[in-house]
């Protein structure tokens, strides 16, 4: 009954909108419209969502960085950017149980278009073909081998960004992903936020001007990020109730990086990634609980 | 009573979010959080909003292109982009009564920071100073001289984009704004959607690669759009109930354009602006009502 009541009013609110919405243009999927609505709050936006799967509630424990085009998958949550045709951010919840139980191999999965994205804004396999870039997972396949569904869900192209292959995706970025998984040996729960950045730099003409410049690939102009970020929150409060959340923030250029370069060279501040991404992270994490780390960043 | 009931449930939904939200970092304003929530629907997102002013209901008659960081002003509605530090889109509703009643001059207004935007993502007057770019209004001051409040509201820096001055903002773009206002002599109601674009182009090296490149200005890296779009919907249904909506779509490069160049040279298709902006426009306009125009674009 309580559940019914909690759905009634948002449904009424939505109805007016739905009735006026005659177009379903450029999209092949109506699934989202049929969803029941519920609300979540971000730092200063309120997002209206479909029913959130219970797994997502755990994944999104520390808040939504933004509300734009949310996709709830088996074991991650993603916000899709329709201009860039790749994600704004992807959030995962990792535990040792999950990440080291690799019953399913990535060979059992195939890259696939995300049909929940309108065709006009969707990236395709063809966009990546002969581009010179890897289809780089944001939520890595290697985090979700415990479940065939979870693994397969990481292969949506909405979870890919064009990444430099040799020297980045297949090397240092892979090392960062392995490092992240290994943090589940240190913390009972790991929350990971991953996403692309498009950073400005000084102009080559040294005239003091700054430009953002990035390549786009394929017919759908999929953006090639200049950098990627990964935010790792280590949570040991299940072990020790007063444990502080531990925060590690990485930002790496999407380019060939010399073998053996320490990951630590790419540590940065949360604020720097927030400024560059336009996102505010971890708004539901108590400022007290992560004070030690935040003060340093 | 009905009003009370319509507020009760969204309030309960929000409460959970608010209670977990300990941070109000990088922002000076809590106004948004205190707002009462209601919902609107876009093509495949549902937006949760504060109470919509009744004027906004008319302005937003044909739907929300997106839900991101919405700002409801006296006589326009804006979606703010936190990465670019300028709008995604601005929507106005114009009538002859309003646009030709110029009781208040723009000299009575001053540019001002938008304190509803978190400091980290906010553009400032200093960002524009000595940048070589004008603070170009998206909702033009000249559309809103009938009311001091409406006029002043167009001076929020969130409603500005860096525009080339001579040859663009002060010339052809101004002509387009005047043309738009004059359309209120042809249609009883005009709905205008204005926004920036960041378009890719072939690389100078002619290697077949395509890049998006745009300047950023000031300490806050305010993006200088490569282009701007303006979508004009002419609605004569008050005069003639079966009148079709008339659609005109313009896209102009943010650069000096030769004096006297006809506006028509910059006409484009709605789909082209949709693809470039990542937005779907007019989702609440009946496809039948604007079929004639849509078929041609």
Report pLDDT for A28: 39
Question: Smallest CA–CA separation between B202 and chain A, in Å?
Answer: 10
pLDDT computed for residue A34 by the predictor? 30
Instruction: Express as a percent the part of chain A with pLDDT over 70.
Output: 79
User: Which of A13, A81, A217 is closest, CB to CB, to B278?
Assistant: A81
Mutate to test the interface with A, among B3, B4, B7, B13 (most CBs of A within 10 A): B13
Q: Does residue B28 belong to the interface with chain A, where contact is any CB pair within 8 Å?
A: no
| pLDDT digits 0-9 by tens, A20-74 | 333 344 443 333 333 344 666 655 566 666 667 788 889 998 888 988 899 999 9
**Taking a contact as any Cβ pair under 8 Å apart, which residues of chain B between 258 and 287 contact chain A?**
271, 274-280, 282-287
Task: Dump the DSSP string for A198-239.
Answer: --EEE-TT-SS-EEEEEEEETTTTEE--SEEEEEEEEE-TTT
Give the pLDDT of residue B289.
Answer: 56
Say whether A39 and B13 touch across the interface (CB within 8 A).
yes
Partner-chain residue, chosen from A38, A81, A213, that has the shortest CB–CB distance to B13: A38
Residue-by-residue DSSP string for B112-147: B--TTS-GGG---HHHHTTSS-EEEESS-GGG-TT-
The predicted structure's pLDDT at residue A46: 63
Closest alpha carbon within chain B to A41? B17
The answer, for B200 touching chain A at a CB cutoff of 8 Å, is yes
In this complex, which of B10, B83, B279 lies closest to A39 when CB atoms are compared?
B10
Contact A275 B120 (CB under 8 A): yes
- With b for 16 or more beta-carbon neighbours within 10 A and e for fewer, the A121-154 pattern comes to bbbbeebbeebebbbbbbbbbbbbbbeeebbbbb
Q: Could you list the mean pLDDT of each consecutive 10-residue stretch along chain B, which spans 297 residues? A: 46 36 39 44 61 84 89 95 98 96 82 95 97 98 94 97 98 98 97 98 88 97 98 94 91 97 96 95 71 40
Which residues on chain B are in Cβ contact (under 8 Å) with A61? none
pLDDT tens digits, A148-191:
999 999 999 999 999 999 999 999 999 999 999 999 999 999 99
Tokens of B278: 């990542």
> Interface pTM (ipTM) of the complex?
0.85
Rounded to 5°, the CA angle A151-A230-A44 comes to 100
- Chain A closest-CA separation from residue B210 CA (Å): 6
Q: What is the pLDDT of residue B13?
A: 38
Instruction: Tell me the pLDDT band of A106, cut-offs 50, 70 and 90.
Output: confident
Residues 214-243 of B with CB under 8 A from A: 214-217, 221, 223
Residue B241's contacts (CB-CB under 8 Å, 6 or more residues apart) are: none
Chain B positions touching A16 (Cβ under 8 A) are: 41
**Percent of chain A surpassing pLDDT 90:** 65
The pLDDT, as a whole number, for residue B167 is 98
- On the 0-12 / 13-18 / 19+ scale of CB atoms within 10 A, A48 is buried
Mean pLDDT confidence for A126-140? 98
Question: How many CB atoms are closer than 10 A to CB B236?
Answer: 16
- Catalytic positions of A: 137
Indicate yes or no: CB of A198 within 8 angstroms of CB of B83.
Answer: yes
Cβ contact (<8 Å) for B280 and A20?
no
* pLDDT of A2: 47
Average pLDDT value for residue range A273-297? 70
Range in A162-166, A206-210, A256-260, B262-266 the model is least confident about: A206-210
CB contact under 8 A, B82 and A278: yes
Mean pLDDT of chain A: 84
In chain A, the domains with their CATH numbers are 54-295 (3.40.570.10)
A 64-103: CB under 8 A from B: 66-69, 81-84
> Average pLDDT for residues A210-233, to the nearest whole number?
97
Chain A interface mutation, best of B2, B39, B71, highest count of A Cβ atoms under 10 Å: B39
pLDDT of residue B43: 54
B18, B38, B118 ranked by CB distance to A280: nearest: B118
Tokens encoding A253: 């250029």
First to last CA, chain B: 47
Annotated binding-site residue numbers of A: 169
Report the pLDDT value the prediction gives residue B50, as an integer from 0 to 100: 63
Q: Nearest residue on chain A to B224, judged by CA atoms?
A: A211
Cβ under 8 Å to B: A residues 52-71:
63, 66-69
Query: Does A9 reach chain B within 8 Å, measured CB to CB?
Result: yes
Q: Do A44 and B26 touch (CB under 8 A)?
A: no
pLDDT at B203: 83
Q: Which of A97, A32, A93, A9 is nearest to A57 (CA)?
A: A93
Structure tokens at B54: 């009744």
Binding residues of A for Mg(2+): 169
Provide the sign of the torsion angle of the four alpha carbons A102, A70, B23, B220, taken in this order: positive
């Amino acid at each position: 009954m309580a559940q019914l009541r909690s759905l009634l009013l948002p449904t009424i609110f939505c109805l007016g909108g739905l009735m006026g919405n005659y177009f379903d243009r450029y999209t092949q999927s109506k699934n989202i419209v049929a969803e029941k609505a519920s609300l979540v709050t971000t730092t200063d936006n309120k997002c209206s969502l479909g029913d959130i799967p219970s797994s997502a509630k755990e994944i999104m424990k520390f808040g939504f960085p933004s509300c734009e085009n949310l996709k709830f998958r088996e074991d991650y949550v993603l916000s899709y950017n329709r201009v860039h045709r790749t994600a704004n951010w992807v959030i995962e919840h990792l535990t040792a149980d999950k990440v080291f139980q690799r019953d399913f191999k990535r060979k059992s999965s195939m890259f696939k278009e995300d049909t929940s994205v309108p065709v006009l804004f969707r990236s395709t396999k063809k966009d990546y073909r002969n581009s010179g870039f890897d289809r780089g997972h944001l939520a890595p396949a290697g985090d979700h081998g415990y479940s065939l569904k979870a693994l397969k869900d990481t292969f949506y192209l909405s979870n890919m960004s064009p990444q430099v292959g040799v020297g980045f995706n297949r090397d240092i970025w892979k090392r960062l992903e392995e490092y992240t998984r290994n943090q589940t040996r240190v913390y009972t729960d790991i929350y990971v936020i991953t996403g692309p950045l498009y950073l400005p730099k000084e102009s080559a003409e040294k005239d003091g001007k700054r430009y953002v410049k990035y390549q786009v690939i394929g017919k759908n102009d999929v953006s090639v990020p200049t950098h990627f970020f990964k935010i790792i929150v280590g949570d040991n409060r299940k072990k020790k109730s007063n444990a502080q959340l531990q925060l590690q923030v990485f930002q790496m250029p999407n380019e060939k990086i010399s073998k053996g370069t320490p990951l630590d060279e790419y540590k940065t501040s949360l604020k720097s990634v927030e400024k560059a991404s336009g996102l505010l992270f971890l708004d539901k994490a108590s400022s007290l609980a992560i004070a030690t780390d935040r003060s340093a960043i």
